[in-house]
């Protein structure tokens, strides 16, 4: 079947098998490999993207189901050489180690901050509860989200 999906503001069209997962469509078609493919069971959260502004585990969605929706990947966070505050927060607060979960965590927490610009620690922990990080212990991730919330208007550079 032929599908077209808007990914990061660009329409991507491809013939796919009906069973093609969104994570594979994103990685294979436009070559956006920032979206990680981890567990293939929707447990880890490494594959989180945003669909219409909401976090979505892209290993749980068929690409064909996403036609007509706006998909945003981690590659869309940095604009014109400027990091998104959530990316800068992860840097400032050392919220990553191996980096495998980071794209999913960034997309999940970006959606949280878009909906709630000043989340509590409990709200942050609830938002990231669907994502597994085996390295950090989560404390620095929570601190990074708080940093981003407090510095949302700051001009951050890569």
pLDDT digits (tens, 9 = 90+) for 89-147: 999 999 999 999 999 999 999 999 999 999 999 999 999 999 999 998 899 999 999 99
Q: How far apart (Å, rounded) are the C-alpha atoms in residues 83 and 90?
A: 11
**Checking DSSP bridges between strand 70-72 and strand 2-7, what pairing results, if any?**
parallel
The whole model's pTM is what?
A: 0.93
Q: Cβ(26)–Cβ(49) under 8 Å?
A: yes
Residue showing tokens 């808007």: 6
Domains of the chain by range and CATH?
A: 2-76 (3.10.20.30), 85-150 (1.10.150.120)
Helix axes 85-92, 102-115, angle to 10 degrees: 120
> Is residue 53 classed as helix, strand or coil in its secondary structure?
coil
Question: Could you give the CA distance from residue 70 to residue 87 in angstroms, rounded to a whole number?
Answer: 21
């Amino acid at each position: 079947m032929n599908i077209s999906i808007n990914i990061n503001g660009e329409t991507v069209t491809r013939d796919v098998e009906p069973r093609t997962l969104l994570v594979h469509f994103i990685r294979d078609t436009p070559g956006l490999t920032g979206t990680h493919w981890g567990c293939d069971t929707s447990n880890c959260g490494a594959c989180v993207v945003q669909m219409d502004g909401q976090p979505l585990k892209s290993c749980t969605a068929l690409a064909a189901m996403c036609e007509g929706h706006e998909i945003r990947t981690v590659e869309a966070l940095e604009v014109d050489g400027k990091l998104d505050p959530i990316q800068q927060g992860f840097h400032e607060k050392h919220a990553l180690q191996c980096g495998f979960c980071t794209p999913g965590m960034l997309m999940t927490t970006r959606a949280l901050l878009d909906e709630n610009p000043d989340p509590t620690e409990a709200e942050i922990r609830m938002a990231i509860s669907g994502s597994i990080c085996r390295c950090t212990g989560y404390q620095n991730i929570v601190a990074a989200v708080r940093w981003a919330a407090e510095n949302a208007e700051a001009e951050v550079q890569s």
